[in-house]
Amino acid sequence: MSPVRVFQCSRLEGTVYLPGDKSISHRALLLGAIAQGTTTVSNFLPSGDCLATAGALRDLGIEVVLPDSHTAIVHGRGLRGFRCPEKPVNCVRSGTTMRLLTGLLAAQPFESTLTGEEQLLRRPMERVASPLRQMGAHICTMNGYAPIIITGQNLRGACLALDVPSAQVKSAILLAGIYADSPATLLEAAPTRDHTERMLGAMGVNIDIRESKGIREITLIPPTHPLLPLEIKVPGDFSSAAFILAAALLAPQSRVRIKDVGINPTRIGFLDVLYQMGADIRIAGERIMANEPVADLEVQTSELEAVEIKGDLVVRMIDEFPILAVLATQARGRTIVRDASELRVKETDRIATVVKELKRLGARIEERPDGFEIWGPSQLRGIPVSSHGDHRLAMSLFVAGLVAQGETVIDDLDCAADSFPGFLTVMQSLGAHYVQY
Ligand SMILES: O=C(O)C1=C[C@@H](OP(=O)(O)O)[C@@H](O)[C@H](O)C1
Ligand SMILES: C=C(OP(=O)(O)O)C(=O)O
């Protein structure tokens, strides 16, 4: 754990490419493992979380090769190719790894245990175990938390309404549904990210999606043929782009272009909010990559206004609240976030930790049960702060450090590599100044 000292920044400028999307990289590995043949993933995200998925798959007998720092090759063994793991499978700090694997393992003919680091053992797992049980799965959690013990079963189809608007829960059900004896249908009131549906469709799985009266109905027909392996290039991660966008909006006289960013509509609620705040961001060269929409984003320094965020929009920007809070400290007026209590069960309680650390920097921010309120603009002052080991908070505090007067010392930025390895190098290439001990 090495502290980083960040200095106030006068200008950010340049063009950057970002590492691949985290959600898509996880799914490419997991689905590649059950495809029949070799899946090649370029612009793969070699982050702590995605490497946890690679490690877990190796424990399950799947060969995953990383020939260079941004390529993954998965030697898929088909729907029934997993090997019974010899020890508990370590999902490290990755919620996506643990929840999606729970769905896959629920249908395998062996018993397996999923565990992880302390941070992950504090996150709720009944949300995924409970709907899977309705499909016949045999899953034990420890009072709702991991370690999770899964005894594989023959699964049945079911019609399930998602209680928690979570793409991880939805994906776990869809992965289990591949193995069920009849179709599985899911009803989603707030649309969550749909990368699993897109990738399954590209692999030849029959997946039907309709929308009526604001409810999305997703039906997966269990395949009777092997899943097709894919050759995909992963789009840049919009959730990583969010930090660059915020930094360029706040640092004076900045102009930054971010190439090949995923702009899947289920992921870019933060962009909608930025436009509402008055951000100058241009979307250029829209195209399709790996069955996902991508574009280049061009951003310039902008005067920002406060916003109110609530309802379904929260789901479409669930990982962007720490950085939104930093922006709101510099926006004119009162920013209000409601309906976001889900933030309390992420890597940290992201309502409590964001409020605590931004207060230290001099922000006028108050905690609410389901969000926070921020009054801006306020001059932030550099001081020692803590990321609490949460990658998104760490990167948000770095961006806050770029606008704070003086020096901001962040106790641990290594955790940024859970989702955005190379974050500091990218920021430095744009003109940010920092010292790492
Ligand atoms: O499915 C995914 O890849 C993810 C879904 C979201 O979690 P929830 O499903 O818990 O909302 C998100 O916060 C996480 O970073 C990645
Ligand atoms: C919540 C996150 O990831 P996960 O749930 O996979 O740990 C995140 O990346 O912010």
Q: What is the DSSP string of 84-126?
A: --SS-EE-TT-HHHHHHHHHHHTTSSSEEEEE--HHHHTS--H
- Tell me if 4-20+236-436 shares its fold with 22-221: yes
Q: Which whole-number Å values give the CA distances from 80 to 34, 83, 110, in the listed order? A: 7, 9, 11
pLDDT at 1: 77
| Position in ligand 1 atom list of the atom nearest CA 27 | 3
- Of the ligands numbered here, which is closest to the C-alpha atom of 168? 1
- Of the ligands numbered here, which is closest to the C-alpha atom of 175? 1
CATH number of 4-20+236-436: 3.65.10.10
pLDDT at 146: 98
Catalytic residue among 21, 194, 296, 319: 319
pLDDT at 437: 85
* Residue ranges per structural domain of the chain: 4-20+236-436, 22-221
CB of 95 sitting under 6 A from ligand 2: yes
- Of the ligands numbered here, which is closest to the C-alpha atom of 125? 1
This complex has an ipTM of 0.99
Q: What is the pTM of this model?
A: 0.98
How much distance in Å is there from the Cα of 95 to the middle of ligand 2? Answer: 6
Work out the angle at residue 111's Cα, subtended by the Cα atoms of residues 107 and 112, and round it to the nearest 5 degrees.
95
| Position in ligand 2 atom list of the atom nearest CA 49 | 6
CB of 47 sitting under 6 A from ligand 1: no
Q: Which whole-number Å values give the CA distances from 289 to 262, 281, 373, in the listed order? A: 8, 21, 37
Determine the Cα–Cα distance for residues 386 and 409; give it in Å rounded to an integer. Answer: 8
| Position in ligand 1 atom list of the atom nearest CA 169 | 9
Closest-CA residue, ligand 2 atom 1, reads: 346
Work out the angle at residue 32's Cα, subtended by the Cα atoms of residues 320 and 185, and round it to the nearest 5 degrees.
70
How much distance in Å is there from the Cα of 255 to the middle of ligand 1? Answer: 30
pLDDT for 111-135, tens place per residue?
A: 999 999 999 999 999 999 999 999 9
Closest-CA residue, ligand 2 atom 4, reads: 95
How much distance in Å is there from the Cα of 406 to the middle of ligand 1? Answer: 35
Fold of 22-221: UDP-n-acetylglucosamine1-carboxyvinyl-transferase; Chain (3.65.10)
How much distance in Å is there from the Cα of 182 to the middle of ligand 2? Answer: 31
Burial class for 180, CB neighbours closer than 10 Å (0-12, 13-18, 19+): buried
> Could you tell which of 22, 92, 93, 96 is best to mutate to test the pocket of ligand 2, judged by most ligand atoms within 8 Å of the CB?
96
Coil/strand/helix, residue 282: strand
Closest-CA residue, ligand 2 atom 8, reads: 319
pLDDT at 76: 98
Determine the Cα–Cα distance for residues 68 and 63; give it in Å rounded to an integer. Answer: 15
Closest-CA residue, ligand 1 atom 3, reads: 23
pLDDT for 339-356, tens place per residue?
A: 999 999 999 999 999 999
Low-confidence ranges of the chain (pLDDT < 70): none
